[in-house]
Structure 1
Amino acid sequence: MQQWLSWQWTRNGWMAFGLYLLLGFAGLKLGLPVFRQLLLPAMLLCGLIGWWLNYRRYRLIADTPTARAATAALGHVELYGVATNHERAVNYSPYSGRRCVWYRCWRYHNDRRSALSGRTLDPLTLDNGSLLSVPECSDQSFVLQDGKQAVIIHPEGAEVQPPHRESWQEGNETLVEEWIDEGDPLYVLGQLSSHGGVRPDQQAFRQDVGAKLSEWKQDQPALLRRFDLDGSGQISEQEWQLVRAAAEREVRQLHQQLASTPPTLHVRKPDDGKPYLINTLTPQGVAVSYRWRAWLHALAALLSFLLWLHLGAAGG
C-alpha cells in the first residue's frame, strides 16, 4: 500500500491539472448552477491541497542544505551523488531484464477503442469498473556514491521520480517500465543513520543480556536440556548463574563483532513523517520543480475562486 501511494503521488502529481480540465468540462455539460455550487469549490479545494503538498516539499528541500556524505550529520539530510548497484547484489527489472538500480513497472490491457484510435490506456484507466494494474516497485537497496563515500539507499516509502521510461506491446497488453540507471545522478532527501563500527555501552549490554535471557525463558525445554545439570527438572540458583554467564558471553561476542564491523551509512524514510524523496535532478532542479508545481496549483485555486465570484455576481 505504501508503494502504491508513493507511486500515486510521484507519477500523478500533475494529474490534478487533468482533474481541473475534467471538472470544467463536466461543468459545461451539467450547467452553470451545478458548476458554481459543486465543481468550482471542488477545483478550489484540489488547488489548495495541491499547493500545500508541493509547497511543503519545496520548503523542506530549500531549507535543507546539501551535505557531503563523508561529513553529514546523522538525522534528516539531503545528499547528491551517483546511483550505483551493490557490488554483489545487482538489481534487474522483471519485465525487460535490464540492469538498473531501481525500477517501477506495470502492465495493462488495451481496449478496442484505444487500439482503434492508436491511444494507450493510462495505468489508472478503469476497464469494466475495475483497476487494471498496480505498479510493482523495487524494494531492493542500492548505493549513492558521493566521492569515496558510499551511502546505502533503502527505497521503501520513497517518492521516486525516475528519469527513464519505456513501454511496449505484448499481445493485448502494454508493459511499462520506469527506472533509474547505473551512473545516473541521484538526489536523496531522507533520514541518515549509521550501522556498525560502534561498541555498545553498558546500558545497551545489560538490555541485550536481559533480552537474551527472556528469549531463552520462552523455550523452557531447551533451557533445561542445556543448563539443568542435576536433572531436577528446574533451574536452581547456581544453574541460573551459569545461564546468565552464558547470555553475557554471547552478547559480548555479538557486540565485539559489531564494533569490528566497518560503519555503513543508510538512508531511509524519516520516522517523523517528513517526505522521503528520491530524484535524479540536481538539488536546485528538484526544488524548482516542486515550487513551480505548487504555484500552478495555487493559480488554479485562485482562478477557480475568481470564477466562482464572477458567476455568483452574474447570477445575482
Structure 2
Amino acid sequence: MGNAAISLVRSLTPKEYGFTLVILILAALAGFYCFIRAWKRWHLIKDTPTARLRSAHQGYIELEGKGKSLPDRPIFAPLSNHQCLWYHSLIERKETILEQKRTRTEWKVLYRNTSNHSFLLDDGTGIGLVNPEDAEIISNEKLIWYGNTEWPVRTGILSNGSAIVALASRYRYTEQLILPGQRLYIIGHLQTRSLATERSVRDIARDLLSDWKQDKQQLLTRFDTNRDGEIDLAEWEIAREAALSQAQTIHQQLLHETEIHHISTPRNCLVPRCAGMG
C-alpha cells in the first residue's frame, strides 16, 4: 500500500502535487480547529456544575431536563413536517461541474432555515423558557432524504435515504431536529423575571397617569376640585399621589405572580442529552 501511494505521488504533475498539498494542509488545519473546539467545549461542560431551576443562581449555568413545546404553540419542521422543538432545514441541488476535461458533482444550497422559536425545559424542579436564537445546537436527530423536486413532495421519516436513491435524485433534503420529550443538556445564561421585577412602582404610576390623560373628562371629574375646567399644579400633584398609591397596590399583587426562568445567550449551547454530551 505504501508503494502504491509513492507511485501515485510520483505520477502527479507539479500543479497537481501543489494542489494536493494545499488540500492536505487545509484538512489538517480544519481537523486541528475541530479538536481545539471540542476540547474547549469538554472543559466548559466539565467545569460547570449542573444546577436546578428551583435554586439556580442568576447568570451562566448548566441545566438538564426534558424539552417541551409551549402550550398551544406547536412547531413543525418545514421540510419533514415533524412536530419538534427546534429544527435546521436544508435543501440542496446536485450540480455537475466540468473542470479541465473532468467532471465532478457538488451540492448547491438552495434553501436554509433555522428555528428561533422558544421552547420549554422541565428539570423536575421548575420550568424554564429557552431562547435558541444565536445558540450553538448539537442534535442527534438528523433526517436526510432525496427527491427530484425542489421542495419535497413527501414527508421525511426518521431514517436516512438509501445510496441508490441518492445517486438517482437531483435534490437532497436535510433536517436536524430536537423532539418534544427529548432530554436536553443546556449551558446558557439564566435570568429569572417576574412582572414585579420588570416594572417598578414608579413605572406603573407613570403608565396610570398616561392612561388617565387619554380620558380628559374623567381626569377632570376626579381631580378638578375647583371646577375651572383645567388641572392646575396642585391638582396634578393630587393625581400623582393617587397614581402612586394605586401603583403600590398593583405592585404588591404582582409580587405574587409566578416567576419565569429565561435561558438564553450570550453564547449558550443547547446539547441533547442523548447525543452523548454532559
Q: Mark yes or no: TM-score above 0.5.
A: yes
- Residue pairs, 1:234-245, within 5 angstroms: 235-245=231-241
Q: CA deviation at 1:286?
A: 2.5
Cα distance in 1 for residues equivalent to 2:96 and 2:245: 69
Contact 1:93 1:100 in 2 (8 A): yes
Aligned equivalent of 1:258: 254
Contact 1:80 1:282 in 2 (8 A): no
**CA separation of 1:227 and 1:111: change in aligned 2, threshold 3 A:** same
Match for 1:277 among 265, 269, 274? 269
Give SS of 1:244's match: helix
**CA separation of 1:162 and 1:50: change in aligned 2, threshold 3 A:** closer
Cα distance in 2 for residues equivalent to 1:29 and 1:226: 86
Aligned equivalent of 1:31: 18
Q: Does 1:136 align with 2:113?
A: yes
Give, as a single letter, the amino acid of the residue that structure 1 aligns with 2:236.
W
Cα distance in 2 for residues equivalent to 1:183 and 1:160: 17
Q: Does 1:156 align with 2:133?
A: yes
Cα distance in 1 for residues equivalent to 2:239 and 2:90: 54
Contact 2:200 2:251 in 1 (8 A): no
Runs (4+) off by over 6 Å: 42-45, 117-120
Cα distance in 1 for residues equivalent to 2:262 and 2:179: 20
Q: Which has the larger radius of gyration?
A: 2
Deviation string, structure 1 residues 92-125 (Cα, Å, up to 9, x no partner): 2122321111111122333256xxx99772xxx4
Give SS of 1:110's match: strand
Give, as a single letter, the amino acid of the residue that structure 2 aligns with 1:244.
R
Cα distance in 2 for residues equivalent to 1:211 and 1:47: 58
Give SS of 1:260's match: coil
Q: Does 1:267 align with 2:266?
A: no
Aligned equivalent of 1:77: 61
Give SS of 1:276's match: strand
Give, as a single letter, the amino acid of the residue that structure 1 aligns with 2:261.
L
Number of positions where the alignment pairs a residue of Structure 1 with one of Structure 2:
234
Q: CA deviation at 1:162?
A: 1.5
Contact 1:200 1:255 in 2 (8 A): no
Aligned equivalent of 1:171: 149
Aligned equivalent of 1:308: none
Higher strand share: 2
Give, as a single letter, the amino acid of the residue that structure 1 aligns with 2:262.
H
- Please, which runs of 5 or more residues in structure 2 have no aligned partner? 1-11, 98-102, 151-170
Aligned equivalent of 1:56: 40
Give SS of 2:190's match: strand
Higher helix share: 1
**CA separation of 1:156 and 1:254: change in aligned 2, threshold 3 A:** farther
TM (normalized to structure 2)?
0.66
- Please, which runs of 5 or more residues in structure 1 have no aligned partner? 1-24, 126-130, 288-316
Contact 1:28 1:35 in 2 (8 A): no
**What is the aligned-residue identity percentage?**
26
- Residue pairs, 1:278-297, within 5 angstroms: 278-281=270-273, 285-286=276-277
Deviating more after overlay: 57-66 vs 243-252: 243-252
TM (normalized to structure 1)?
0.59
- Residue pairs, 1:155-234, within 5 angstroms: 155-168=132-145, 169=147, 171-172=149-150, 173-196=171-194, 199-200=196-197, 204-206=200-202, 208-209=203-204, 212=207, 216=210, 222=214, 227=219, 229=224, 230-232=228-230
Higher relative contact order, chain-length normalized (CA < 8 Å, sep 6+): 1
Q: CA deviation at 1:236?
A: 2.1
Q: CA RMSD in A?
A: 4.1
Cα distance in 2 for residues equivalent to 1:140 and 1:69: 21
Give SS of 2:273's match: coil
Cα distance in 1 for residues equivalent to 2:192 and 2:56: 11
Cα distance in 1 for residues equivalent to 2:116 and 2:134: 9
Cα distance in 2 for residues equivalent to 1:118 and 1:183: 42
Give, as a single letter, the amino acid of the residue that structure 2 aligns with 1:268.
S
Q: CA deviation at 1:269?
A: 0.9
Give SS of 1:77's match: strand
